[in-house]
Amino acid sequence: MDYIRPDEYSTTNAPSSGLLCYNISMRKRPSFDEIYMEVVDVIAKRATCLRRSVGAVITIDRRILSHGYNGVPPGHEHCTDTGKCLKDLAGTEEYKICVHAEQNAICQCAKRGLAVEGATLYVNADVCITCAKLMVSSGIIRCVVRRDHKGNSDGIELLRKSGVQVDEWPNV
């Protein structure tokens, strides 16, 4: 990242009036991709799984439509409540109760009647095959993903095969 972070703003050399405005106008503005890849990391702090913390953001026209983090459906115990990851307790993939960040972000749109066709989804972990299917079927056209390599490439391959533009974000 070659832009100046907010905590690096300096007001020491600014003129005595309009201090902060002067400095903001001098810095290089981050792109929306850079901003939203920071947002997914903040959203991921709300995750309730003990195994990993994932955040997702859905945008349309460069504005946030929805966000999600990994947890369980409303009304169920979280991994953080039981002290053991529910994925392990479930035993098999079919019965695991976990809802992924991407799924929660899409479900929130379903709940509120918001169309995601033509949207971009940002996420900070490998996309699984189920999330990839939902993204393709709901009309999401671009995915910006920072891989954590805790999953595999199946989801990303499915996205690409289905015509979704996948941009892999570098790990820093």
Full DSSP string of 80-121: HHHSS-HHHHH-SGGG---B-HHHHHHHHHHHHT---TT-EE
Task: Compute the distance between CA of residue 134 and CA of residue 58 in angstroms, rounded to an integer.
Answer: 13
Q: How far is the CB of 141 from Zn ion (least distance, A)?
A: 18
Q: How far is the CB of 51 from Zn ion (least distance, A)?
A: 5
Alpha-carbon separation of residue 153 from 87, 127, 145, 158, 166 (angstroms) = 20, 8, 11, 9, 12
Between residues 23 and 130, which has the closer beta carbon with respect to Zn ion?
A: 130
Residues of the shown chain interacting with Zn ion in the complex, contacts defined by CB under 5 A? 49, 51, 79, 85, 100, 128, 131
Q: How far is the CB of 54 from Zn ion (least distance, A)?
A: 8
Between residues 27 and 51, which has the closer beta carbon with respect to Zn ion?
A: 51
Q: How far is the CB of 134 from Zn ion (least distance, A)?
A: 8
Between residues 51 and 142, which has the closer beta carbon with respect to Zn ion?
A: 51
* DSSP code for 55: E
Between residues 27 and 133, which has the closer beta carbon with respect to Zn ion?
A: 133
Task: Write out the two tokens for 112.
Answer: 């509120």
